[in-house]
Every structure is written in C-alpha cells, then in structure tokens.
C-alpha cells in the first residue's frame, strides 16, 4: 500500500475503531469520536465512571516511521490540550474542577493481527 494521505487516514480510522472496541470491552462509555475544532482534534472522548478520558490513538501498519508512541510531537500535545480546554468549555466545565485524564492507545497492525497498548494518564495537562 502506498503512503498517501487517503491510506494514512484509512489506517487511522481502522485504528480508532479498534481502540473504541477495546475501550468498550473495558467498560468505558464512548461519548464522541473525532471531536474537531480549529487547530486540533481529540480522537476519542470517553468516560470511565465519572472521569472524562481523552484518548489519542496512534496506529502504524509497519515500523518504517517508528513505533506509534514515538509519533507525538510537543506541538501535537499543545493541540490536544487546546482541544480538551475547548471541549470542556463548550460544556461549561473547567479543567481545574473536572476529573479527566489523557490516555494514549498505540496500535501496531500487521495484516489481520493488531497489538494494542493502552497507556493511562500518558500525558499530564500541565506538561504541555
């Protein structure tokens, strides 16, 4: 498969769908996928009990560009933080008074098998 934006997006969509299924099996309630705002996106928004979970999903179908965990830049983290702030603000919530965490799901997909790694609290809001 050639490395073009359409294929890249398809791989990402497949990974996000796998991540949703994975989280649902853990008992998480999925609130939204692909929350987009200008300059940012949150792949999955879920709840684990009363805690909001903002999930960044990274999928790779080979390691020619490294493992999924290596692909998150400081700029991407700033976009995630901005997106979370706006998501909470739209719901009249504050990042200071709302329980939430930011998780990373890394997926390496090789043919029909996928390895899913879930990092809870992968990023701390203040770190960006």
pLDDT band at residue 110, thresholds of 50, 70 and 90? low
Among 19-23, 74-78, 109-113, 115-119, the range scoring the smallest mean pLDDT is 109-113
Q: Residue 125 in contact with residue 81, Cβ under 8 Å?
A: yes
Model pLDDT, residue 6 = 52
Instruction: Please provide the CATH number assigned to the domain covering 5-127.
Output: 3.40.1350.10
Query: 């965990």: which residue's tokens?
Result: 69
pLDDT digits (tens, 9 = 90+) for 46-76: 999 999 999 999 998 776 677 888 888 888 8
Model pLDDT, residue 91 = 94
The structural domains of the chain, with segments of one domain joined by +, span: 5-127
pLDDT at 7 over 50: yes
Model pLDDT, residue 64 = 66
- Long-range contact pairs involving 37-40 (C-beta distance under 8 Å, separation at least 24): 37/82, 37/83, 37/86, 37/87, 39/79, 39/82, 39/83, 40/79, 40/80, 40/82, 40/83, 40/86
Kindly give, in sequence order, each residue whose CB lies less than 8 Å from that of residue 79, ignoring residues fewer than 6 positions away: 39, 40, 41
pLDDT band at residue 43, thresholds of 50, 70 and 90? very high
Model pLDDT, residue 16 = 93
Highest mean pLDDT among 11-25, 44-58, 73-87, 95-109: 44-58
């Amino acid at each position: 498969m050639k490395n073009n934006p359409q294929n890249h997006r398809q791989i990402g969509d497949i990974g996000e769908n796998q991540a949703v299924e994975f989280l649902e099996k853990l008992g998480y309630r999925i609130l939204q996928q692909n929350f987009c705002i200008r300059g940012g996106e949150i792949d999955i928004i879920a709840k684990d009990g009363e805690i909001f979970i903002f999930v960044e999903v990274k999928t790779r179908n080979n390691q020619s560009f490294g493992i999924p965990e290596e692909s998150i830049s400081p700029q991407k983290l700033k976009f995630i933080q901005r997106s979370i702030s706006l998501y909470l603000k739209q719901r009249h919530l504050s990042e200071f008074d709302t329980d939430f965490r930011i998780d990373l799901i890394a997926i390496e997909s090789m043919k029909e098998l996928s390895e899913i790694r879930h990092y809870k609290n992968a990023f701390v809001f203040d770190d960006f």
